[in-house]
Amino acid sequence: MTRDALVVGINQYPSLKDKPGPGSKAKHLKTPATDAEAIAQLLEKYGEFQVRRLLAIHLKQSVTLKDLEEAITELFHPKGQQVPETAVLFFSGHGLRRNLPDGSTEGYLVTSDSGSRKEKWGLSLRWLRELLDKSPVRQQIIWLDCCHSGELMNFAEIDLGEYEKGRDRCFIVASRDFQLAYEQAEGEHGVLSGALLQGLNPTLQPDKWVTNFTLADFVKQALKDAPQHPICNNSGGQIILTGEQSVISSICPYKGLAYFDFNESDPKYFHGRTALTKQLLEKVRHSNFLAVLGASGSGKSSVVRAGLLHQLKLSVVPGSERWKIYEPFTPSEHPLKSLEQVIGVKADQLQALIKAAAADQVVLVVDQFEEAFTQCRDDAERQKFFECLLSAVKRLGKKFCLVLVMRADFQGKCAEQEYGGLAAKIDQNLVRVMPMNQQELREAIIKPAEQVGLEIDRELVNQMIADVSGSPGDLPLLQYTLTELWEQRTLNRLTISDYTRLGGVKKALEKHANEVYQSLSPKEQLVAKQIFLELTHLGEGTEDTRRQVRQQDLVTQRRSPELVERVVQRLAKEKLVVTGEQEFEGKRVAVVNIAHEALIRNWDVLGKWLKENREALLIKQDIEDAARDWRDKQKPKDVAYLLQGARLNGSCVLNVLN
């Protein structure tokens, strides 16, 4: 987000006379250029503004009407796509007012060529107001230190910042429409400019931050006894103007839709799960099997990776510094192959590998264990995978520790078959991940910010806690919203006004997904729809889940490889999908997945697509399972694998999905 400012200070008015006729003198001023430069320096130093200056200090310098109109237009209606989030116009100089034939009045910002034959008045405040009303700039700030500047506020038909438009405005003018404005009797600034300079300096403020609201309060208090009466009009939400900044880290301490991982950087920003982490450590200390279950979005992966595993690495459990901890993995379509990629040997050699390990104990984490049911469609391979793991748990004792992380709604799947006693094992060694309480949520929001020098509005923290308290699956939405706030932060501060504009925890992700989808061309939108449908596994007795798909499988006769690649990369850039590589038939191939199941649950557009196409998707899912089984069994001529009956009839309705 960019912050631009235009500061104008005009001392020289060669054509503007103090009286008509012979003996008249030019109405030059002493302080405007000094005022403007001082404001510019404050905005640059404490406000992170890119400032353009228009100054007329000496007779050889001038700011003409043409100069001012072009500069203001460029500020509030910039060419191209780079529209600033915040724009400030500061003007110090003369102001004029004239009576119109209809009995109304009109105010002007007087330029260096005002009073001449070519240009009598200057820049119309009516023109300025109309420009602002059509401007795409969301935060508009106007400070006018000149006579009759109250004319800016006079027209009721001009929108002064309707909140529902998402526009914030701060208008501060030196005097009422019929009043003059003054330079200070002593000192180097105009009366209003002097108050603005004090009010904008964060080092003089108690909390070291200045907003449009605190500035208006300061100006009104500072000038309550002044001969002129400034007018302050704030509309919309809060605008952060300046702040005294400490050294700020450029690292975002929040994770968006990703989990906090078991690595060098993530655990330091992982907060709010101290009690649960201790519970997991205690379980691992006394047992070699642990099942961590919770709702989708409850933070299971994060607490196991950045909590449990990180603490084991730090030797919180005595002797755990001598443990071997494998990188957590997910079962995917072929869980035995996924296991082999992690341990580096064939799955049937797992026990021998662990026995030979120099480590006192070997820890293996299977994350998103439900994929063994949703992505692995080969029951025989699933059985072998479970047997491989559970046999190692049974035979290796304390030499091996297995941790399973699974969505709670899949617990029943583990009991549908014997699976080597998997269901009973889970029941006996189960830890459920419950929603964070309010104090834990507060820690998860505030502590990462403190570590990187971010300030957070107290009201924002309270509102976010209220919005997610008691919701078991909203942690990804909370982290996503905090990440968006960080990316759009002003002076390294997260604000309630930005939170409201994003739509809050419940709507921020959906709003972003809608904006991305609407920005695509009609052809790209159709491809995006098909991609999201392909990446969703429909639950039967469970909630829908995401599924990983090879990118080449997204290509059809109607969807070229180039078109699919373009859309996938755009969705990945916008963090709606994640991409990677996976070994397939001896080659590394590109794979795609939905960034988080929170998108499936919270994006109404995707929910509508899934509802409209559910029958066809279930048929497609069934046929794909059969095709995968045929391929894996290498039965190219076996008629038992040909589509027959309901499957054959069902294939006729699939054209709509391609």
Largest CA distance in the chain: 111
The amino acid sitting at 164 is: E
Specify the pLDDT at position 164.
46
* Residue whose structure tokens are 């029943």: 412
Q: What CATH number does domain 273-432 carry, 3.40.50.300, 3.90.1170.10, 3.40.710.10, 3.40.190.10? A: 3.40.50.300
Could you tell me the fold of the domain covering 438-506? Answer: Helicase, Ruva Protein; domain 3 (1.10.8)
**CA–CA distance, 368 with 582 (Å, rounded to integer):** 17
Q: What is the mean pLDDT of the chain?
A: 87
193-202, 460-469, 541-550: segment of lowest average pLDDT: 541-550
**CA–CA distance, 524 with 563 (Å, rounded to integer):** 7
Q: Is the pLDDT of residue 654 over 70?
A: no
Query: Could you give the 3-state DSSP secondary structure of residue 386?
Result: helix
- Bridge partners for 407 per DSSP: 294
* Residue whose structure tokens are 């991982």: 261
For Cα atoms 18, 19, 22, give the angle at the middle one, nearest 5 degrees.
115
Of 228-232, 371-375, 385-389, which has the strongest mean pLDDT? Answer: 385-389
Q: 254, 637, 265: which is closest to 478 by C-alpha?
A: 254
For residue 219, is it left (φ>0), alpha (ψ between -120 and 50) or beta? Answer: alpha
What DSSP element (H or E) covers 446? helix 438-451
Q: Is the pLDDT of residue 635 over 60?
A: no
Q: Tokens standing for 263? A: 């690595």
What DSSP element (H or E) covers 363? strand 362-366
Query: Could you give the 3-state DSSP secondary structure of residue 628?
Result: helix
Classify residue 170 as exposed, middle or buried by CB count within 10 Å of its CB (0-12, 13-18, 19+): buried
CB 411: neighbour CB atoms within 10 A? 18
Under 8 Å between Cβ of 405 and 301 = yes
Q: Is the pLDDT of residue 271 over 80?
A: yes
Under 8 Å between Cβ of 565 and 604 = no
**CA–CA distance, 536 with 549 (Å, rounded to integer):** 10
Model pTM score: 0.77
Specify the pLDDT at position 442.
97
* Each residue's pLDDT tens digit, 192-226: 999 999 999 999 988 888 999 999 999 999 988 87
Specify the pLDDT at position 184.
46
Instruction: Count the helices and strands in the chain (H runs, E runs).
Output: 24, 23
Average pLDDT over residues 65-85: 91
Could you tell me the fold of the domain covering 520-655? Answer: Arc Repressor Mutant, subunit A (1.10.10)
348-357, 507-516, 598-607, 644-653: segment of lowest average pLDDT: 644-653
Q: Is the pLDDT of residue 648 over 50?
A: yes
Q: What is the CATH number of domain 3-243?
A: 3.40.50.1460
Work out the percent of the chain whose per-residue pLDDT is above 90: 64
Domains in the chain: boundaries: 3-243, 273-432, 438-506, 520-655
**CA–CA distance, 290 with 283 (Å, rounded to integer):** 7
Specify the pLDDT at position 163.
45
**CA–CA distance, 182 with 176 (Å, rounded to integer):** 12
Q: 378, 305, 300, 309: which is closest to 337 by C-alpha?
A: 378
Q: Is 438-506 the same fold as 273-432?
A: no
- DSSP calls for 279-324: HHHHHHHH-SEEEEEE-TTSSHHHIIIIIIIHHHHTT-STTGGG-E
